[in-house]
């Protein structure tokens, strides 16, 4: 229950006259996650912005079904957002998104849907936590690659197959490549990308949407397509002074455990490390949600 209740109770009269109007913040969990995964982010946003007219939607439609394909999960998220806005009679002046892991891909896919077109002018901040925006290519962890391959086969996962860019014989027909041509990230006023070199699940270059040495040296069709994906996503953003684009390389103080060794600890630290969430929001993040 605690994760569904606001940290501070703000009376309706103060919310109505809050400067800037209603701010809807949609939080989307990652692989095998649930609606409570981003509860600490919500809590610290409420603590850091007391009196702000915030409305949170902790997405839950894809709980237990994140091994499905991205189109199916996108359908569910779009329906969930539109239902939430209509059911509660909301008229948000600003709409922000916070995503973890593959939840960020669902967010990008959702805002590209025609049903969401009316919300594009209201997009405010997109906080991406360990998002595999370029898939899992050029991941230097053989152990994780093997684990992902096994999970994809065992679960018959469409999403993991799509993240590996193997869901079509032609790499330029894969889901992520086609999504790069429909990038609506430039509609956000603030675009914040968090990644960590300690995270072996999502490569740092994928989380930060940038090239890596392996991709630059790759002369295959896959390498060329990867470089095109980076260009497709970033070209609408570059040269737009109205868009704040920030990349963060996060280093966590992690104990020497098996989870740290395989990179899982850093992948979930952005969810369960109060130290990281508090410091990140207080030092830099809160201003982008005002």
pLDDT per residue as tens digits for the range 3-15: 444 445 555 555 5
Given this model, what pLDDT does residue 149 score?
A: 58
Ramachandran area for residue 209 (φ above 0: left; ψ -120 to 50: alpha; else beta): left
- Token representation of residue 162: 């799509």
Given this model, what pLDDT does residue 7 score?
A: 47
Question: pLDDT tens digit string along 135-192?
Answer: 999 987 665 566 665 566 666 778 899 999 999 999 999 999 999 999 999 999 999 9
For residue 193, the cross-strand partners are: 128, 247
Question: pLDDT tens digit string along 247-279?
Answer: 999 999 888 886 776 668 889 999 999 999 999
- Token representation of residue 105: 């891909």
**The domain spanning residue 238 has which CATH number?**
3.40.50.1820
- Token representation of residue 85: 């806005």
Domain count, the chain: 1
Pairwise CA distance, residues 81 & 244, whole Å: 25
This prediction has a pTM of 0.91
The answer to which of 86-100, 104-118, 141-155 has the lowest mean pLDDT is: 141-155
Pairwise CA distance, residues 48 & 286, whole Å: 7
Nearest alpha-carbon partner for 128 in 241, 18, 206, 215:
206
What is the span of the domain harbouring residue 271?
2-289
Residues 6+ apart with CB under 8 A from 16: 53
Residues 6+ apart with CB under 8 A from 181: 232
User: Across the chain, what does the average pLDDT equal?
Assistant: 90
Question: pLDDT tens digit string along 40-55?
Answer: 999 999 999 999 999 9
**Is 31 exposed, middle or buried (CB count within 10 Å of its CB: 0-12, 13-18, 19+)?**
buried
């Amino acid at each position: 229950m605690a994760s569904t209740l606001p940290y501070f109770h703000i009376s309706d009269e103060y919310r109505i006259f809050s400067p800037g109007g209603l701010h809807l913040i949609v939080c989307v969990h990652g692989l095998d996650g649930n609606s409570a995964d981003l509860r600490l982010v919500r809590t610290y946003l409420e603590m850091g912005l007391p009196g702000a007219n915030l409305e949170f939607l902790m997405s839950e439609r894809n709980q237990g079904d994140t091994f499905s394909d991205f189109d199916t999960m996108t359908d569910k998220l779009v329906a969930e957002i539109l239902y939430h806005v209509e059911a509660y009679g909301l008229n948000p002046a600003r709409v922000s998104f916070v995503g973890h892991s593959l939840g960020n891909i669902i967010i990008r896919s959702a805002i590209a849907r025609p049903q969401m077109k009316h919300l594009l002018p209201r997009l405010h901040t997109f906080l991406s936590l360990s998002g595999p925006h370029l898939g899992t290519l050029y991941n230097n962890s053989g152990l994780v690659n093997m684990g992902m391959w096994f999970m994809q086969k065992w679960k018959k996962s469409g999403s993991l197959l799509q993240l590996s860019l193997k869901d079509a014989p032609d790499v330029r027909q894969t889901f992520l490549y086609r999504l790069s041509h429909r990038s609506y990230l430039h509609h956000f006023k603030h675009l914040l990308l968090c990644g960590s070199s300690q995270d072996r699940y999502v490569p740092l270059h994928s989380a930060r949407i940038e090239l890596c040495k392996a991709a630059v040296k790759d002369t295959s069709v896959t390498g060329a397509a990867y470089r095109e994906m980076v260009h497709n996503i970033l070209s609408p953003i570059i040269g737009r002074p109205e868009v704040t684009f920030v990349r963060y390389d996060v280093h966590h103080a992690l104990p020497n455990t098996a989870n740290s060794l395989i990179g899982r600890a850093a992948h979930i630290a952005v969810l369960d490390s109060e130290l990281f969430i508090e410091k990140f929001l207080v030092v830099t993040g809160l201003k982008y949600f005002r």
